[in-house]
Structure 1
Amino acid sequence: MKIYHTETQEDFDALLEELKNEGYSWFFGEVIPSYDSELWERYKQDTVVHIEEEGVSWGSLSYAKYLHPNTPIEKYKAKQDEVAKWFGGVTKAMKAFSSNGVSMKNENNDKVNNPAHYTAGGIETLDYIKAKVSDYPSYAVGNILKYVSRYEHKNGIEDLKKAQFYLNDLIEWMESDCK
């Protein structure tokens, strides 16, 4: 048995994702979601995750210490460098495109920066996503990778500009203290 203490929602979500990718399921057989804020909310910074052969469960730190006094409890921290690796790969791709004559300037092209169909409800769709999605960097990086990987086969420079838009927006979001 292993017990991990997750002090933040980010740590908890990252551990669930890792366990899901390793093929674990909840103790009662259900698939582990990528994140579950309701589970985190119950014990918050005192949340622990138990990993056994039969599956995964969660609970409070104090109960884990009481129930398993001889089992070490490891602190689990989300790997911050994973996102950095993604950005590094995207940066290399952007440099390669730039060296091949693709402009990296933030051009104001309505198809890329502000398509009319993205503001139909009175709010920019991306603003709504930022307000609702707890991990905006992963969302943005996913879009960057999507557009960079398909540009040769689908929309060419337009897809590169969309990737550039998300990269610029992510940089701006991170420089503004991630708000």
Structure 2
Amino acid sequence: MDKHYHVATHEDMDALMRYFDERGYVWGSGESPSSRYHYNYDIVCADDSDHTLTWMRHDNFVEYHQDETLIETCAHGNGIAFDGVYCAIKDDHPSAIRPDYYKHEGRDLFDHFSEMFTTQEFRGFMVGNVIKYVIRYHSKNGVEDLRKARTYLDRLIQSEE
């Protein structure tokens, strides 16, 4: 079932996209929520069953979804409020991509990779994993593999900056 979130400002949209980023949602195209913003639309539709997002204009919501609940969002400090109830935005949800057993000596394995490999080897390892997960996503784990690919790509970008 879709939930519909109304955003009034760019700040509200930014906060909502960060909220969905941290919870593993993606746009229907597979992109992370914060990778593209739809400031021409003021309703974000979230499907909790497959963690995908779409958007629509408020007038379309009123016309076609008038019997459904519209959740008002408002950026608030480092968090977001849903219908006036504050929610901190922080990554406190367990990740299917990096569970605790992927730690070595108390540190995330990604931190060890950059120490274990030369720069060229590290880049190749990261790019290889991005390619692997993108190629197999349709026939194996679907969106979960796209999220894994995104994780490797995000870590590669982070190391290059």
Structure of greater Rg? 1
State if a TM-score over 0.5 links the two structures: no
What TM bracket, shorter-length normalisation?
0.3 to 0.5
Larger fraction in helix? 1
Q: Which TM-score applies when normalising by structure 2?
A: 0.43
